[in-house]
């Protein structure tokens, strides 16, 4: 079920960045994509009794994860790096808890969100990344 999301399967920050590049999402649209997943995960955590007790503390701060608020790549990988952290949590903790009906609803909602983001690409085009090595740190 998680294979078609940029953090499904054996995905990492590189696959998340490749997804953003393929879809030509600007940093603004990348954050909106990330925020959609953050809000989804937070709402699941708040509704699930076990997760609420064990993981709600992780959602008291935005963005989620160990790389939160770190933009240490010259290529502007902030949101792909943050999505790797959040995506691992979603894929490994939340997806296994979803029913088939919830999974289908998520896929439907996701498709709608992606259509809206892709329609806004021309209003907020992706800036050309600097000509430096991939994942070069500052």
Global pTM value = 0.85
**Mean pLDDT of all residues in 121-137:** 66
- pLDDT category of residue 67 using cuts at 50, 70 and 90: low
**Per-residue model confidence as pLDDT tens digits over 13-63:** 778 888 988 999 998 999 999 999 999 999 999 999 999 999 999 998 888
Ramachandran quadrant class, 25 (left: phi over 0; alpha: psi -120 to 50; beta: rest): beta
* Cβ-Cβ contacts under 8 Å for 36 (sequence gap 6 or more): 113
SS3 category, 58: helix
Tell me the helices (H) and strands (E) count for the chain, helix number first: 5, 0
Reply yes or no on whether the pLDDT at 12 is more than 60: yes
Q: Which residue has the tokens 């940093």?
A: 27
Between CA 123 and CA 26 the distance in angstroms is: 10
Instruction: Name the percent of the chain lying above pLDDT 90.
Output: 49
Domain layout of the chain by residue ranges = 2-119
CA distances from 16 to 52, 81, 100, 132, 135 (A): 27, 8, 25, 19, 13
Reply yes or no on whether the pLDDT at 77 is more than 50: yes
Supply the pLDDT for residue 7: 85
């Amino acid at each position: 079920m998680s294979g078609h999301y940029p953090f499904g399967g054996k995905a990492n920050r590189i696959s998340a960045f490749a997804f953003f590049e393929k879809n030509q999402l600007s940093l603004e649209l990348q954050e909106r994509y990330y925020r959609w997943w953050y809000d989804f995960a937070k709402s699941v955590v708040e509704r699930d009794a076990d997760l609420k007790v064990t993981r709600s503390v992780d959602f008291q701060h935005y963005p989620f994860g160990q790389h939160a608020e770190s933009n240490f790549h010259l290529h502007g990988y902030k949101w792909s790096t943050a999505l790797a952290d959040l995506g691992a949590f979603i894929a490994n903790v939340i997806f296994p808890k979803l029913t088939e009906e919830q999974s289908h609803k998520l896929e439907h909602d996701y498709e709608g969100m992606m259509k809206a983001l892709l329609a806004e690409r021309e209003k907020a085009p992706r800036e050309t990344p600097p000509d430096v090595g991939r994942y070069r740190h500052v």
